[in-house]
Amino acid sequence: MTLFDLSLNEIHNRLHAKDLAVTDLVAQAFKTICEQDDKIQAYLTLNEEGATESAKALDEKLVSGEARGLLFGLPVGVKDNIVTEGLRTTCGSQFLKNYDPIYNATVADKLRQADAVTIGKLNMDEFAMGGSNENSSFAPVRNPWNLDYVPGGSSGGSAAAVAAGEAYFTLGSDTGGSIRQPASYCGVVGLKPTYGLVSRFGLVAFASSLDQIGPLTKNVEDSAYVLQAIAGYDAKDSTSAKVDIPDYVSALSGEIKGLKIAVPSEYIGEGVDAEVKQSIMDALAVLEGLGAEWEEVSLPHTEYAVATYYLLASSEASSNLARFDGVRYGVRAENPGNLLELYHQSRSEGFGDEVKRRIMLGTYALSSGYYDAYYLKAQKVRTLIKRDFDNVFEKYDVIIGPTAPTTAFKLGSQLDDPLTMYLNDILTIPVSLAGVPAISVPCGFASGLPVGMQIIGKAFDEQTVLRVAHAFEQNTNHQQRPQL
């Protein structure tokens, strides 16, 4: 039992009663990191000095009785593609191994305004490209449930840190499943908000029409609190939505009577592990017991989602990553003969294999002669996939299925097979293409590894998604922590 096993309200009550100090919480985080992180490798950079200073300032605030932010005193780890002023931000890439940003991402500012304490930056697949964290150019993250297994990716460090008690909560980013899939593999809660709900100003862009920032937490209530703190319009992000932000925490009523759930046959059919499917069926029975109704439906274009995603996301990546040329950011090649050689050598040395693979795929899909056949076609298929969701949401409140077809796999087992790796995201990618919100909540174990249930909602209806996830969590006991 550590301080991080307490709920947010328990922590706040104890802080208020002066029974606990923010410095204790921060010390707890660094103690656990120091004891365990050489095994897990979730952190790339620690902010021990800065966090201790912030903790002291917050403790003074506690004494003076000043107003406290929503996430007061909570130690947070931030995925390393979210820029943090003066705190190294590498994107898991050698290219940015010496990049110290001169500004904060909007979410980093929002965390500070909410009085959370940033304790460090979290390991990830290079530029968020990967589903196992083995594409980090620093070190692979390991799954706290079994160190021989991957934690998922690309926010593997963010998920593993929460599971291992190395942060109270973390932020990740999700382009095609990067919050939900690692949350599922590590047995924590991961929320991908609706596209446009959370500002992406200061998130290093991978695929701009898909990227979203969201929380990874131990439970659904914390997820609602963090979303409350980070959601909202931001003039600095042109894709930021001007919508009213509801009260996510008070949406957690426990009441789901009459809720209409759709279960896509494609999400429980061929390719889905039998034990994973069984966990989802058991979870549906729990929801039914709470008064919800479920029916099988079809999302007929699911089979095209992975191909569509890899054309669109890679095309966007090839354009977004053009800025890494050895001149403006990061590492510069030594002794190039001329400017072209400088670009060529810096990019050859700076990027890892997966990033290069995507840049080549994207550049090819955008090149003249192939643009219509690949990029434009993929855009059209994306619309069809989105329409699948629109149709189902005319009749149903949420869509439920597994987050991933299997539990975590062994380190190294899929490294030589990018296509198999890509297919791990087959159930999260369609949701990203449709731009709608989804959460992964722990719903059981298969061969000793956590299984995640994905609850998908209508655009900007995070309240319902959180309400269903919370009702499920309150009536089950899957929220467990690994023994390390």
Ligand X SMILES: NC(=O)C[C@H](N)C(=O)O
Catalytic residue among 54, 93, 137, 154, which? 154
φ/ψ (deg, to 5) at 300: -65, -20
Name the residue with the smallest CB distance to ligand X: 178
Q: What is the DSSP secondary-structure string of 315-336?
A: HHHHHHGGG-SSSSSS---SS-
29's tokens: 């985080």
Catalytic residue among 93, 173, 178, 199, which? 178
Q: What is the DSSP secondary-structure string of 189-223?
A: EEEEPPTTSB--TTBPPS-TTT-EEEEEESSHHHH
The CB-of-293 to ligand X minimum distance in angstroms stands at 32
The CB-of-210 to ligand X minimum distance in angstroms stands at 8
Plot region of 190 (φ>0 → left; ψ -120 to 50 → alpha; else → beta): beta
Nearer to ligand X, 47 or 403 (CB): 403
The CB-of-358 to ligand X minimum distance in angstroms stands at 8
Nearby residues of 428 by Cβ (< 8 Å), 6 or more positions away: 174, 176, 177, 180, 181, 192, 403, 404, 438, 454
Nearer to ligand X, 178 or 223 (CB): 178
Told to judge if 79 belongs to the known catalytic residues of this protein, a careful annotator would answer yes
Nearest Cα neighbor of 190 from 402, 469, 441 is: 441
Helix intervals (H) in 290-376 = 305-320, 339-350, 353-366
Chain residues that interact with ligand X, rule: CB under 6 A:
128-131, 154, 174-178, 313, 425
Nearer to ligand X, 262 or 423 (CB): 423
In this structure, the strands spanning 75-79 and 398-402 are: unpaired
Told to judge if 155 belongs to the known catalytic residues of this protein, a careful annotator would answer no
Nearby residues of 315 by Cβ (< 8 Å), 6 or more positions away: 362, 365, 366, 375, 378
Plot region of 444 (φ>0 → left; ψ -120 to 50 → alpha; else → beta): left
Nearer to ligand X, 8 or 189 (CB): 189
Catalytic residue among 54, 79, 223, 315, which? 79
Nearer to ligand X, 233 or 304 (CB): 304
Catalytic residues: 79, 154, 178
